[in-house]
Structures are given as C-alpha cells and as structure tokens.
Amino acid sequence: MTLKLEINPIKEWLPHIDNPLLISGPCSLESEEQALDTAKLLAQDKRVFIYRGGVWKPRTRPGSFEGVGSVGLKWLQTVKKETGLPVGTEVANAQHTEEALNAGLDVLWIGARSTASPFVVQEIADVVKGTDAVIMIKNPVNPDVQLWMGAVERINQAGIKNIVAIHRGFTPFRETKYRNYPNWKTVIELKRILPNLPIICDPSHIAGKREYLYEISQKAFDMGMEGLMLESHRDPSCAMSDAAQQLTPDDLGKLLDKLVIRHENANNPNFESQLDVLRNRIDALDSELLEILASRVAIVKQIGQYKRENNVTALQMNRWTQLMDNRVNLGKRLDINETFVKILFQLIHEDSVRMQTEIMDEE
C-alpha cells in the first residue's frame, strides 16, 4: 500500500534552506536569558535553520520540571525578533496549539505521547484547520506505523500541507544502550507508504546521552532522512530536563562538522549502471534464497507428517537449541551478524512449528 498525500517538500515553506534541515535549541526553556543566550550562539551557525524550545513538558511522573508554560511563548517571540531564526515548540493538546498559533510560532510539533492518541491528534487538527501552519509529528511511543500514519492523515485532512515526520525512537521492550529503541524498520515502512513525506530524526531522544548522538545522526543521514532535531543548551550541566542528552552550541557545531551527508543520487555518471549490476546479482540471489526456503518448507511438512504418524510433539527443545547454536556458529564463521542470524532462524523455526502443528491437527 502506498498513499500519495498532498504534502509540501521542506523547501516549499523554508525556501532559503540549502542543507539538511537542522532544528536545535534547549529541551526546555528555563528563563528568557537562557533562551536568548542559547539562540544567539546557535544563530552563529548557518546550518541551524529553526530554533526549538520546550514550553510545556509532559513528564512521565508528576513532580519533575514540566516547563515554564505560556510565558515561554513570549521568549520564543523575542528569540525570533533578535536572531531572525524561525521558532517552534511542542504542543500536547488543542489549547497549547491555539496559544502557539496566536503567538505566531513558525513550527509546531506533536509529541510521541500525543501522537499515540487519535483523539488528541484530531483536536489539534481541528485547531490548525484553515491555517498554513507547519506541523511536525513525532512517532508514537510504540512502533505502530499505522498510528503514526494516521496522525499524518488527520493533520493533512485538516488542509495542512506543510508536514514533517520526526523519528524519535520507541519505548524499549528490552534493555538497550539507548534511551529509546530506534527500530529503523518502522521509519522505512512509513517512508514506503508515504514516499513524499519528509522525515527527520531526533537523535537526542533516541540516545539519551551525548556520547551516542553522532552515531545516531550519521545513521539517520545514511538512511536518507532529511534533517535532524538536536537539543542544545548554553550549559547542559545546569539543564532542568534531559541534561545528559544536550550539547553546547559549540559541541553541536563539532558534531555537525563530522557528519557525512548522503544523497539519493550520485554525480558519477557510471553509478547507476554499476549499481544495477549489483542489484541484479541481489535479485538473483534472493530468487535462489526463496527457492531454497521452499525446499525447506517441503521437508518441514514431511517431518510434520512423520511426527503425526508417530505421535511426537511439533516442538522439541533439544533439537531447537542445537539448531540455533549450530546456525549462530556457522554465521560467525561466515561473518554474518549474530543477532541477524538469531532473528532469522527464530522466525523460520516459529513458522516450521506452526506448519507442523497444523498438520498434526488435521482431521
């Protein structure tokens, strides 16, 4: 399934952009002085196109800093006036959205918790209807591409064409080194379904720690994303929220200097023909791989029939353990990623058990 929504490219509403979109600023606005000082430092780097600042900060539990509230909108107005940078903030409900629009903010984004609620997204859509607002939509907290896509559709159905999706990672279902699990395949799926939707990455919320920002940012560009949202604070050690993931404007510049920006097309006139040769080889190998899997399925069915005739269970843990150890070790010798091998054979084995169980349950 592919959807063709009427969505503008970023350059349509930000015509002076000449690099990937970079949005930067503090996680939270804490004072007018902090907001303006950080903005002036960021404005010195012409790669920064939009200044961000959290005004309302929905927290998981009460008692922590939840933002300065509406007064922060005035600080953003001052930032725009004194630096010339467009400004934006997160909105979590219809009231926030109305206040931000009335304050003349250039960009609004819907946070992960709000994206997870179609009711909240629809209320925001009702407020922005009839405007030319720029609305960015972070992924929901769980890797549900339909929920993310639905939020984009609701905003688009309100007549909004300036839409950008933000990949900020997902609530981890297992222990990871990152704060949020990247789960890049969900982003790839969204891009497949909505090919003209601009997508940027929020490495700050994926990483949770400064030391991981570069690797995630580079991965985002390697995946063809159109920009980054990176949190920056004049003095992260004093930040009232998410101190560990924010960079000083100077350190932000150093990170940007290291990044390699990828492009969908190359200047090399022979690139496409050389790539086609390699892709044709991949296509041939994939066909061969599917034929091998089909042969494996036929044998699995024979085993299922044999087990049924001898009243033996479909799942045999000793065999499964031996099989997995053998395949992982073989994968290591062939220099194939261990995690990939485990996931691949977990899927293959689960489907084998399913087929054998169906054979055993036949009338």
Predicted confidence (pLDDT) per residue in 206-264, tens digit: 999 999 999 999 999 999 899 999 999 999 999 999 999 999 999 999 999 999 987 76
> How far is 85 from 49, CA to CA, in rounded Å?
7
> How far is 273 from 280, CA to CA, in rounded Å?
11
Q: How many CA atoms lie within 13 A of 215 on its CB side?
A: 10
Say if CB 47 and CB 19 are below 8 A apart. yes
- Measured CA angle at 10 (ends 263, 245), to 5 deg: 75
> How far is 89 from 54, CA to CA, in rounded Å?
5
> How far is 94 from 124, CA to CA, in rounded Å?
5
* Burial label, 284 (beta-carbon count in 10 A; 0-12, 13-18, 19+): exposed
> How far is 252 from 219, CA to CA, in rounded Å?
17
Per-residue model confidence (pLDDT) at position 46: 95
Average pLDDT in the 195-200 region?
Answer: 96
Rounded to the nearest 5°, which phi and psi values hold at 194? Answer: -120, 75
Residue 253, sorted as left (phi over 0), alpha (psi -120 to 50) or beta, turns out to be: alpha
Say if CB 9 and CB 21 are below 8 A apart. no
Helix-helix angle 71-83:32-43, to 10 degrees: 30
Smallest Cα–Cα separation from 229: which of 206, 254, 261? Answer: 206
116-170 per-position pLDDT tens digit: 999 999 999 999 999 999 999 999 999 999 999 999 999 999 999 999 999 999 9
> Which run of H or E residues covers position 107?
strand 107-110
- Mean pLDDT over all residues of the chain? 93
- Residue 14 pLDDT level (bands cut at 50, 70, 90): very high
Indicate whether 356 pLDDT > 80. Answer: yes
Give me the amino acid identity at 264: E
Per-residue model confidence (pLDDT) at position 295: 94
pTM score, whole prediction: 0.81
- Residue 198 pLDDT level (bands cut at 50, 70, 90): very high
Indicate whether 60 pLDDT > 80. Answer: no
Average pLDDT in the 261-285 region?
Answer: 81
Indicate whether 2 pLDDT > 90. Answer: no
Share above pLDDT 70 across residues of the chain, in percent, rounded to a whole number: 99
> Which run of H or E residues covers position 199?
strand 199-201
Say if CB 228 and CB 22 are below 8 A apart. yes
